[in-house]
Structure 1
């Protein structure tokens, strides 16, 4: 049977009526690469009920962190959203996933494009010093419907900029671009539309997306992944994987849809 750790919930924060995050203890034997996911869940009626979740913590941090949607009728999230400090969760011991640096060819700018809880793996990646050693610019784009749904990502980025040891490196290289589709905000529009028009790169004062210099990671809704896959492929980008690095990578594992 695959390794399964039992961990204790430490903190829980509800961001909106559909989003929450929580932290838990981390077994010293649990190792992962920034951007990977693992199976987590609960014991339900004597059996483990598990779903794929990306780690939001840095791979060097001593606690785990996860960012989740709330699905009222979801078999797992309907229960996870009721977690409280002291509760126990199950964490699978075999992390995996395609959103890792070695699946990409070397480049100058890394674009991480996420919608909703698709932000999660990128939170881990922007906390990893290795990311900044590989790229001149690290671009985090987070698309949501409403401004309130950006709260978790905004806090993570603010804390990184203010970090005593890490802040200067982050300030020099990290470009954060939150955008919403259903409210007035400083950035509005779907990520695909912003890329197709060149507005995203223009707002960030970067050159248009180019396969020779830019690398892209995608995580989010099925529709967003499909649209951006088509856009990148038509732009000459080739998808990478564990056996052959490419210009972009997609995470196809989802929490409850």
Structure 2
């Protein structure tokens, strides 16, 4: 009988990258950002999201299924690290643990980025409004640092609505820090407008962004003609489901049509985040 060598079956590739945490920044007791090392072969479009998670907690020595949720990538496509912006939910299945990560820890990340909050899903226009609530700011941090954004639009308006002034994470960056960006700093200085609103504390631009759109205050504050124009304006929406649904309904009243990767339009929202 001849002894025949048998080649082992190829190992199945993991559905996730296991990535080292590079840094963590806690903005408030409810908000934090973190960065992961970037795999050499990982590519994404500004505005896309990816699954982030941690291994399931072990029971009887056996690891449970990974706990995951979708996170928009908050850093630019050309960065050497991958940045994310997260809420902290005390009893959340993921963020109750994720908020405790430190530099050097390991986090799981899906291999395939996806999403509709991308420039490819919009037709051409003159002005781009990036409207977000809370951590819905994350994709705009990538879009606002993408050179293509300024090639396609003459003005970019980042609207960020939060409950308290302390929740305006990245305020300094969007006000002045982005002006030092190596790729879009000059364009951002001339053409990026940061428009924050606060709902539960006194602030120079108070209230929900949808209320300021409906009342015309947004346009008056920016010195723009009232209302959105289908021929001129393009809009991206990300954040709370209530804001997205209300804002989308408002945009439709102005004649703007929703777009997608397959059929670009006047505005886009992330369907994966909307119930």
Q: Structure 2 CA distance, aligned partners of 1:204 and 1:234?
A: 21
Q: Structure 1 CA distance, aligned partners of 2:179 and 2:157?
A: 14
Deviates more, 1:45-54 or 1:110-119: 45-54
Unaligned runs of 5+ in 2: 1-12
Partner of 1:76: 94
Q: Structure 1 CA distance, aligned partners of 2:180 and 2:84?
A: 21
Compared with structure 1, are the counterparts of its residues 254 and 14 closer, same or farther at alpha carbon in structure 2 (3 Å cutoff)? farther
Q: Structure 1 CA distance, aligned partners of 2:23 and 2:183?
A: 24
Deviates more, 1:188-197 or 1:44-53: 44-53
Partner of 1:171: 189
Compared with structure 1, are the counterparts of its residues 42 and 212 closer, same or farther at alpha carbon in structure 2 (3 Å cutoff)? same
Unaligned runs of 5+ in 1: none
- Displacement, 1:197? 1.4
- Displacement, 1:2? 6.6
Partner of 1:119: 137
Matches within 5 A, 1:98-137: 98-137=116-155
Structure 2 residue 50 is matched with structure 1 residue 38 = yes
- Displacement, 1:99? 0.5
Matches within 5 A, 1:171-210: 171-208=189-226, 209-210=228-229
Structure 2 residue 231 is matched with structure 1 residue 219 = no
Partner of 2:16: 4
Partner of 1:234: 253
Deviates more, 1:141-150 or 1:36-45: 36-45
Q: Structure 2 CA distance, aligned partners of 1:92 and 1:213?
A: 36
Q: Structure 2 CA distance, aligned partners of 1:164 and 1:63?
A: 15
Q: Structure 1 CA distance, aligned partners of 2:203 and 2:174?
A: 19
3-state SS, counterpart of residue 245 of structure 2: helix
**TM-score (structure 1 length as normaliser):** 0.95
1:147 to 165, 170, 175: 165
Q: State which structure, 1 or 2, has the greater radius of gyration over its C-alpha atoms.
A: 2
- Displacement, 1:239? 0.4
Partner of 2:32: 20
Question: Which of 1 and 2 has higher RCO (CA within 8 Å, sep 6+)?
Answer: 1
